[in-house]
Amino acid sequence: MTMEHKVERKLFDEVMVPCYNPMPMIPDHGKGSRIWDQEGREYIDFAGGIAVSCLGHCHPVMVDALTEQAQKLWHLSNVMTNAPALRLAKRLTELSFADRVFYANSGAEANEAALKLARRWAKEEHGEHKSEIIAFTKGFHGRTFFTVTVGGQPAYSDGFGPKPGDVTHLPYNDIAALADHISDRTCAVMMEPLQGEGGIVPPEPGFLQAVRELCDKHNALLVFDEVQTGNGRTGTFYAYQESGVEPDILATAKSLGGGIPIGAMLTTDALAAHMKPGVHGSTYGGNPLACAVAEAVVNEVTKPDVLAGVIEREQWFRDGLEAINDKYGIFSEVRGKGLLLGAALNQNWEGRARDILVAAGEEGLLVLVAGPNVVRFTPSLVITKADIEEGMARLERAIAKVVAG
Ligand SMILES: Cc1ncc(COP(=O)(O)O)c(C=O)c1O
């Protein structure tokens, strides 16, 4: 790297709005599941850009799609449609319950579209009174004001003045609480089919089915936020496909683009009919550059060996974490599905997930947390066994350091 391209981490503190507190190192380039910083130091990536880089960094399939499209057409706006957007939409409808696609640029925007569609449907089909959105404590749906209000973490939604109204939060996995509360006033239930940011919390057996039944009973829509679980991460293209419970609306983003910003809301013909021209929109949504990359990513991820490989890799992760735990006894459980895994710290190590993340960084390993007590792993879906083993060796060194104090 030439000197004029180098920047110092302290420049972040001078020129950036301080919403984040990034690590001291500054990544320069990546390949597969390895990243190199400006100093040439190498890291193994168990974080995958927070469940985004599903094919790792600079996968040839993505680079080829990007460079090919970059020579043709980058952007149009929705005044015109384009071939990559239509091809990708067709593919997404073939791969899911959905008949229709609305493109956004992020998970929050896909969820925002889902919530607006649900409210629109309820008002047009049933009247003004049917406006309640039910969501779950510790759920996470993005940072727009509507989605952050629907997310079940007041720490993220407080402090910005009056919130969008008629949103109720109930405990996840508590079907009795939902049965008690839901009514014909309920417009939609929005949920993650496996909570990610809230601590990698899987649904208990029967929970998703019971939510679906209650929604049907009260004529409410079921919205699955698959922004983190989707696009192969749990071993099926969407997580709902393993549960057998179909939503009415689904939000997808993150791994959909493998690193290019794109999100989408998927829904049925009947619901989509409530979105007439001008009702909702986005300048960039369905941008040909993003859609061309996403199409290539989706085609790669849906190869049977890639999806089967997710389950194989889950086992390698679980084996590695179990071996570490046998030595250091710091995890109470490893939970999640596919390559959306969380190692929950036991009582003795409560609140120390961030310390492990920092120590791992010092050992050349990138991991995530999901709350103060869970170390989270969302690597590339095609990470190699050698990278997993080397990453586990680094994680073990990091944990040994934390345990030693
Ligand atoms: C389940 C879920 N929904 C929505 C979002 C928001 O996505 P974005 O940051 O792309 O807006 C996230 C991000 O972590 C997420 O995990």
254 is catalytic: yes
- Report how far residue 347's alpha carbon sits from residue 258's, in angstroms, rounded to the nearest whole number: 36
pLDDT at 3: 58
Cα 381 to ligand 1 centroid, rounded to whole Å? 18
Rg (CA), the chain: 21
pLDDT at 4: 63
140 is catalytic: yes
Phi, psi (rounded to 5 degrees) for 376? -110, 145
Cα 226 to ligand 1 centroid, rounded to whole Å? 9
Nearest ligand 1 atom to alpha carbon 192: 1
> Is 69 annotated to bind ligand?
no
Phi, psi (rounded to 5 degrees) for 223? -110, 120
Beta carbons of 381 and 301 less than 8 angstroms apart: yes
pLDDT at 285: 98
pLDDT at 5: 78
13 is catalytic: no
pLDDT at 221: 99
Name the β-bridge partners of 345.
331
pLDDT at 64: 98
Profile the chain (405 residues) by mean pLDDT over runs of 10 residues: 79 98 96 98 98 98 98 97 98 98 98 98 98 98 98 96 98 98 98 98 98 98 99 98 97 98 98 97 98 98 98 98 98 98 98 98 98 98 98 98 96
- Report how far residue 17's alpha carbon sits from residue 168's, in angstroms, rounded to the nearest whole number: 31
Torsion of CA 101, 105, 106, 111, to 10 degrees: -40
